Chain A
Amino acid sequence: MEELVFSRAEFEAVLPSAILFATGLLLLLMDTCFGDRDPNEDSSPKTHLVLTGVAGALLAFAALSVSAGDTSVRLFAGAMTDDLFGRFAAGIIILATLLTSLAAGGYLSGIGKHRGEFHALIFLGAGAMVLLAQATNLISIFVAVETLSLALYVLAGYVRAWRESAEGAFKYFIMGAFSSGFLLLGMAFLYGASGGSIQLADFGDGLDPVLGSVGTLLVIIGFAFKVGAVPFHSWVPDVYQGSPVLAAGWMAVAVKVASFAALLRLVMATGDSANMAGLIMAIAVITMALGNLAALNQTNLKRMLAYSGIAHSGYLMIPVGLALHEGSVNPKVLAGSLFYLAAYLVTTLGVFVALSSLKHGDRDCDTLDAIKGLGRRHPLIALAITLSMVSLAGIPLTGGFMGKYFIFRDAVLGGYWQLAVIGIVTSMVSIYYYLRPVVAMYFHEPSEKIEKVEAAWGLHLALGITSFGILYLGVMPERLVALSLRSVERLGM
């Protein structure tokens, strides 16, 4: 019998997620204890919650750098690994949470729906996401995936007064639980195929060929649901359209990061024993094509961004397929994924935070009509949206361009120039729908009365950070590229 001892390395590895969970619980308590019951409470900015959240996120970010070195250490009898890869992904998740919680006060008080649950839920979800990025056995992956999903279902239905919100949350719940069933079945098969191991590291060879392939396939399907890859994407547009815009932004970024981190670990572990490279590349191609084409004629911005998120999942699938190609598992190309995710963080949150600073009565300002003439009314917000759209489209000097550049370059170097061509063509198509809002903002007369939320200091700060990040990653990507290369070199399992 092994003795159960909580080692220092284990303590350091769980510290970031522990801080996030603790912050979530603290926020819940604070809202219950200090909330005065006056009717206007939901419209107050509740700065104490915002500041607590920001402090918690900063603390968790600092805790990431506590554990030292490039080594990857297996902890908790293999349930999780502390490596640079996991910490890189955790860093993106925590930054997304930090920016969201900065913006949440102004946004939620603006639409008159400010309750402590929102803050608590993003922190509880983020804690689970950080665990998922570090998880290396089937049980810890499953529990982390489910914990984060439960937080997301509630966030999607956060605004109970909107019909779309409840509808989106319910669709998300049904589809999410359905996909969890497949994920879990795949895990059971992997467990059976490996002869009784739940450790990712044991799935490399010696898997029962049939059971192992089916298991890997089912798990990939489960994660494809979570990241919204075609053909498992149908929930994404409804959920984004129904969710409050800031929650949609946080979901878009953080879920992708956590799910891709887990998917990468899993794929690296199983290797190409199941011939999954071709399948993943096929998913990448149809996801890029369908996401971008479906986004073309959307007039609801949240829905348009949902399809854009699907398309970006497609781009992110390319390195996964490349890493597996021809049976030789090559982790180097995964650096492209990590960099892309970091660029995606600032780009996507940029546009969602910018939209959060606008409102239309007590609704989100989320249609093309509603932002007409924004360039004249609120030039700075219009500028931030433009910058994010340009980066999403992948135009040079932005982080989005560098991310796409690295992925397409790796595809060409790996001998899959067709993937790069399809990626470039679909990116060009995407310029059309990304620039439509820009045209609406600058070249149309203001048609509706757009209101800007009061108490917008947090939104402004978050927008400043994302805009700076987009330009920084576009002009000086070297440091982050080096860090992502170092991260994937010693990917632990």
Chain B
Amino acid sequence: MFSLTACLYLSAFLFSVGIYGVLARRNILVILMSLELMLNAVNLALVAFGRAHAVAGAAGEHRGQVFAIMVLAVAAAEAAIGLSLLLLIWRKWRTIDVRDLCRMNG
């Protein structure tokens, strides 16, 4: 249906949106969403490669897909940690703006 190249372009686009979101946005929640977007963009690439390289019946046919499932699990754990840090910062200082988080420098 879709060619490998098309999937990779879409994945690269989503990844770039994620990078932009992390670097440019100030709201911590949006940054967390952008991080998730980066991981999911890679998932798309993995699944696309997995389908393109599949040899029917061969051992390890679905490596890319399995990798993507592992990434999903890791992303869930990461989101849990990220949100709890966000909660900690909100409870202490009533802010979710990254500009308020630059006390240390040098």
Q: How many residues of B contact A (CB 8 A)?
A: 45
Q: Which residues A478-493 have CB closer than 8 A to chain B?
A: none
- CB of B13 closer than 8 Å to a CB of A: no
In the complex, residue of chain B having the shortest beta-carbon distance to the beta carbon of A157: B85
- CB of B89 closer than 8 Å to a CB of A: yes
Question: Which single member of A157, A184, A196, A237 contacts B104 (CB below 8 Å)?
Answer: A237
- CB of A42 closer than 8 Å to a CB of B: no
| Complex contact A178–B85 (CB within 8 A) | no
Q: Which residues A146-172 have CB closer than 8 A to chain B?
A: 146, 150, 153-154, 157, 160, 163-164, 166-171
- CB of B101 closer than 8 Å to a CB of A: yes
CB distance from A331 to the nearest CB of B (A): 27
| Complex contact A188–B78 (CB within 8 A) | no
Question: Which single member of B52, B77, B88 contacts A157 (CB below 8 Å)?
Answer: B88
CB distance from B90 to the nearest CB of A (A): 10
- CB of A465 closer than 8 Å to a CB of B: no
A169 to B86, CA, bound (A): 10
| Complex contact B82–A191 (CB within 8 A) | no
Q: Encode contact with B along A170-197: 1 for CB under 8 Å, 0 otherwise.
A: 1101100110110011011101100111
CB distance from B14 to the nearest CB of A (A): 11
- CB of B99 closer than 8 Å to a CB of A: no
CB distance from A156 to the nearest CB of B (A): 10
Question: Which single member of B31, B35, B50, B81 contacts A181 (CB below 8 Å)?
Answer: B35
| Complex contact B35–A164 (CB within 8 A) | no
Contacts of B102 in A (CB 8 A): 167
- CB of A241 closer than 8 Å to a CB of B: yes
In the complex, residue of chain A having the shortest beta-carbon distance to the beta carbon of B23: A178
| Complex contact B49–A192 (CB within 8 A) | yes
In the complex, identify which listed stretch (A137-145, A252-260, A392-400) lies at the interface while the others stay far away: A137-145
| Complex contact A160–B88 (CB within 8 A) | yes
CB distance from A271 to the nearest CB of B (A): 22
Question: Which single member of B38, B53, B55, B67 contacts A138 (CB below 8 Å)?
Answer: B67
- CB of B103 closer than 8 Å to a CB of A: yes
- CB of A2 closer than 8 Å to a CB of B: yes
- CB of A83 closer than 8 Å to a CB of B: no
Q: How many residues of A contact B (CB 8 A)?
A: 42
| Complex contact B67–A169 (CB within 8 A) | no
Also in contact, A196 and B85, with CB within 8 A (given A174-B22, A181-B18, A185-B45): no
Q: Encode contact with B along A374-400: 1 for CB under 8 Å, 0 otherwise.
A: 000000000000000000000000000
Question: Which single member of A163, A197, A298 contacts B92 (CB below 8 Å)?
Answer: A163
A298 to B106, CA, bound (A): 8
In the complex, residue of chain B having the shortest beta-carbon distance to the beta carbon of A195: B53
| Complex contact B104–A177 (CB within 8 A) | no
A188 to B46, CA, bound (A): 6
A157 to B45, CA, bound (A): 33
CB distance from B83 to the nearest CB of A (A): 10
| Complex contact B101–A170 (CB within 8 A) | yes
| Complex contact A177–B101 (CB within 8 A) | no
Contacts of B85 in A (CB 8 A): 153, 157, 166, 169-170, 173
In the complex, residue of chain B having the shortest beta-carbon distance to the beta carbon of A149: B78
In the complex, residue of chain B having the shortest beta-carbon distance to the beta carbon of A168: B104
Most buried by A among B41, B49, B60, B93: B49
A2 to B67, CA, bound (A): 19
Contacts of B66 in A (CB 8 A): 139
Also in contact, A178 and B35, with CB within 8 A (given A146-B77, A150-B81): yes
Q: Which residues A85-116 have CB closer than 8 A to chain B?
A: none
In the complex, residue of chain B having the shortest beta-carbon distance to the beta carbon of A182: B38
- CB of A242 closer than 8 Å to a CB of B: yes
Contacts of A142 in B (CB 8 A): 67, 70-71, 74
A242 to B85, CA, bound (A): 14
Q: Which residues B15-45 have CB closer than 8 A to chain A?
A: 15, 18-19, 22, 28, 31, 35, 38-39, 41-42, 45
| Complex contact A188–B103 (CB within 8 A) | no
In the complex, residue of chain B having the shortest beta-carbon distance to the beta carbon of A184: B42
| Complex contact B49–A177 (CB within 8 A) | no
| Complex contact B22–A178 (CB within 8 A) | yes
Other 17 A-B pairs with CB < 8 A, given A146-B78, A157-B88, A185-B38: A142-B71, A143-B74, A146-B74, A153-B85, A166-B89, A167-B103, A168-B104, A169-B85, A178-B38, A181-B42, A185-B45, A188-B67, A189-B45, A191-B63, A192-B45, A192-B53, A303-B106
Between-chain CB contacts (< 8 Å), 9 pairs: A171-B101, A174-B22, A181-B15, A185-B41, A185-B45, A188-B64, A237-B106, A238-B104, A298-B106
